[in-house]
Structure 1
Amino acid sequence: MEIRQLQREEFEAAIELSQYAFQFTMSQEDLEKSKKKFKPEQTWGIFDGHDLNAKLTLLPLQVYINGQVFDMGGIAGVATWPEKRRGGMVSRLLTHALEEMKSAGQSLSFLHPFSFAFYRKFGWETYIEYKKYVIPIDKFPVKLKTEGTVKRDVKDILELDQVYQAYASRYNGTLVRDKEWWQERILNENYRTAVYYSETGDPQGYALYKIEDKQLNCDELIYENETARRALWTYFANHDSMIAQGKFNYVPADDNLPFLLDDPRIQQETVPYFMGRIVDAAAFVKRYPFEQIGEETSLTLSLTDRYAPWNDGLWRLTITTKGQGHLERVDKSISSENAIVADLKLGIQSLTTLMLGYQQADDLYKWERIEGSSESVSALKRVIPVKQTFLLDFF
């Protein structure tokens, strides 16, 4: 068995496995389009001779964490032929992917799981959920006159991305989109856009939506300020002769729209979405902007990580008064006679969900996902910024 990147002539083998594993069939036209976009260097496979037995795609992406941009490895398209399953191939591929990500400087990894329990075994953990609303047209927010204008079917990527970046950088885990991502994955020909411009002509909000069968389906409602939000909702409400209801997907978990409605009793659903994983703890901590609390913080962490052994061990976490973190391994430099007792013990999953902001240190301590003294837990909590996680994209 050999693990290697695919070659261009192996596109057919890869797409055949994907179609079988994910139960879809591509037309000849779509196959040709997909073949032109195929990047074999992003797909890793396990081969038995010339036969592709299992594969995954490793996407070089970037995400916002506490307002900073981090390199992230996106795992997608994990598939194995049924007769080859239960043989540890996915485990080998994921372990190899972690090594590749570390080498590439991707200190984080995200994936969309077919099973949360399955990927938890390999160190990934839930880091984001989103809300979905179904709102009858007569319960839409009240129409309000606002300054500025809303223009329909704007496809200027620079303007859309300007608004998106201002919005996305407020959250943890949102994707940094490049021009190709906008073209290939966002500006789908079946969707329309509506952009709000301020009185001075600055784009400050947009919506990505489509209307079919008397329903408005909105996948992105992005706004920089309250005026933009009101203007876009008024634009939607002006479709009252065309639609019976609106379905709003990918809404941040901390959204407060129901409170603002005259009748907040609308259909709401919370959906667990992506999983995240710290790939390289030392590299991640070095770039992570901790809270500046006016005093230095020092804690000894016992970190467990079965599938990324470079993270596994005893570390000293130091955070300066300016919020600069440093993770120094200490278990390699001490003898058993002088063993250091860790202030806190936790796994890579708990560290990930904590530092991404999805869970708080005292809750993880209560659930016994962190072990140690309550004083050490409180010290750790003080230096972790409180930030909502969110993701609008899929891969």
Structure 2
Amino acid sequence: MPAFSLDPVRTAWCAELRTTAAERLRPLAEKGEPGRVNRPLVAELGQLGLLRRLFTSGALDLCLMRESLAYACTEAETALALQGLGAYPVHAYGTPAQRDRWLPEVEHGTAVAAFALSEPGAGSDAAALGLRAEADGGGDGAAEGERHAQAPIGSTPRPASASPLAAEADGRSRWRLSGEKCWISNAPEADFYTVFARTTPGAGARGVTAFLVPADRPGLTGTALDMLSPHPIGALGFDAVPVTADDVLGEPDRGFRVAMGTLNLFRPSVGAFAVGMAQAALDATLAHTARRDAFGGKLKDLQTVAHRVAELALRTDAARLMVYAAATAYDEGAPDVPKRAAMAKLLATETAQYVVDAAVQLHGARALQRGHLLEHLYREVRAPRIYEGASEVQRGIIAKELYAETEASR
């Protein structure tokens, strides 16, 4: 079963990815400016065909890509993941015109995508979004044609249906977006944004619509944020930004499904990113403790050190197996994907934090020197416990799903 034993082809592919990341991607990453989109790196990911695989592979292969890249070059992993997160809603929920316009450029690494969900007052509570999408005449924004349902990764999404109502609207329905987004990866440098806005006040998660918003729309501004993590993060301002029915992803007032459908896929792969970092930290620790002289022997000869390293390996492998199991469940269309995805992200990101921190402790002060692998991982490993749903949110999802399963079994 692939969740527990990878076949030789996948094992060889992972090894190839690690080599490619070290030899071709890391040099480009090292030339990048922290906090800025590294477009040469994104373009190389496209040249290697990895961005195309975001839309043609299953969830397990997505996890293997992210884990393998993270092991050798976290910047390349993050660049790939952000392209997927921002563009997957277009792949799965977009119209043929939207997909034809943006996906080829995303796959080639010539257009940068971003997923704009979080707000200053609505980070983990996505249903509390305050960005307003106010009707701007030309028809009722809620009365749009039917859109296709969620398409699993690797499939060909169904085209939007040509209902009489949609034909009548003919793209004339329009809104104005007003408000702000914050903590948006790739902002403010992305070429387009998947933006979630409130179209029905007071409706909670049911009143949110997803829009595809090109970066050159009038009224859209952005500011870079100086964050601990080296990848680009910014805030966006929306001053009556115009959008029309042609920009809607999915259906009006059903954008929360777009967000959750995307996150259910990418949450296990966030765990894969974390596992890749944990494995890199573990391997560095094995090498260091085996050669470091201490107290008349090698550091690894101290029982406390050996037992600590064994614990790191145990937790890393346990997290990896849960990530693979969640990804396999997604690929098989299992009904408990939300619970498994939350479990995988929670366990893997918390594990990676523990492993990297312990690795720093076993290395000592040298691990905190600027430019050391562990110094880099120490900065990178913190953010995944927050984004795409903080650890506390994942625990809430798990509990909710468990009680729902219990109730359904009665």
TM-score, normalising length: structure 1: 0.27
Determine which structure has the larger helix proportion and give its number. 2
TM-score, normalising length: structure 2: 0.26
- Of structures 1 and 2, the larger Rg is shown by 1
